[in-house]
Structure 1
């Protein structure tokens, strides 16, 4: 079963938060605030925080920029994962992914079902890896960000989490770039 191994030392990771919205400013970004507070409370480092418009090319460009930055280990975006015409965050993420973490969306749906029932079917939360960086796209509601962090990311971004976690394999995510 899942647990924290207290004999291991916590390793903080550097996380960037990207809010995707046509209307929000930093002052109104409640979902981004939720993520930043949880990142800090967990002992990780906020590497950067931005808001971009719901434009596929703009989102993908920001993701690529952060994936190229060796000071960023994880990018969490919030917003633009729904079904409307302006919701293009998932497509932008998939434009950038080298590998998709298929089970992230599945586990997020299971967590959401416990909170919002069948409304969880409308979420397209996703996760993936690009250039040695983890990328996660979460819905734009503060509740969804809380659920994703508290029920999935808090544990998977903790090196002490057993039986496995994302942090322990972080140094190997881009090993295919180093092969000869």
Structure 2
């Protein structure tokens, strides 16, 4: 599992959605962490928004971005916990065509190495809809760093071997094209 020398980097277009009832753009450290990391890696920030913890509003924004041909990946931060207002995971699942089950599992493994059994409280998830990848990350800056540094930076790099999300991106909606 390495970065190969024979492939060229392919930047992907990533939208960031922060889910919070209390933060504005200036206080959104987790969203900014993701913006900084994705641009440092050579990817393109396609859009960025903050929404309150409202399931229908979150799902509507995800659907809008999934319908935008200029967005390949959506990263959300916040609303993945266990409290009554944490509805981001449910909003994601309202939109998914397919869930990437192993994303949550791998995120939990990464988190266990950092925060021990507290990782059990995370409901990070990933999926695909309308040819777009979607990932729901916890609202903590540390969790966003871990998800990016340990999983997403590699899977969103076409050079990563033996496989990565970028190489299958053009085929995510192939079932729809055949109809």
TM-score bracket relative to the smaller structure: over 0.9
- How far off its partner does 1:179 sit? 1.1
Residues in 2 aligned to 1:20 and 1:137: alpha-carbon distance in whole angstroms? 10
**What is the CA-CA distance between 1:150 and the residue it aligns to?**
0.1
- SS at 1:143's partner residue? helix
Structure-2 separation of matches of 1:97 and 1:72: 16
Q: Which runs of 5 or more residues in structure 2 are unaligned? A: none
SS at the partner of 1:46?
strand
- Report the count of equivalent residues: 179
Give the TM-score taking structure 1 as reference length: 0.99
1:101 corresponds in structure 2 to 100
TM-score (ref. length: structure 2): 1.00
Within a 5 Å distance, the mapping from 1:139-150 to structure 2 comes to 139-150=138-149
Give the CA deviation at 1:66.
0.2
Gaps of 5+ in 1: none
Quick one: distance in 1 between partners of 2:45 and 2:129?
Answer: 19
1:43, CA displacement in angstroms?
0.1
CA distance in 1, matches of 2:117, 2:29: 24
Q: After the TM superposition, which parts of structure 1 deviate over 3 Å for at least 4 consecutive aligned residues?
A: none
Match of 1:171 in 2: 170
Partners of 1:159 and 1:134 in 2: CA distance: 15
How far residue 172 of structure 1 moved from its aligned partner, in angstroms, is 0.3
The Cα offsets for residues 36-63 of structure 1, whole Å up to 9 and x where unpaired, read as 0000110000000000010000000000
Residue 59 of structure 1 corresponds to which residue in structure 2? 58
CA distance in 2, matches of 1:68, 1:53: 21
Tell me the equivalent position of 1:161.
Answer: 160
Instruction: State how 1:7-18 maps to structure 2 within 5 Å.
Output: 7-18=6-17
Write the distance in 2 (CA, Å) between the matches of 1:45 and 1:64: 20
Q: Provide the residue aligned with 1:81 in structure 2.
A: 80
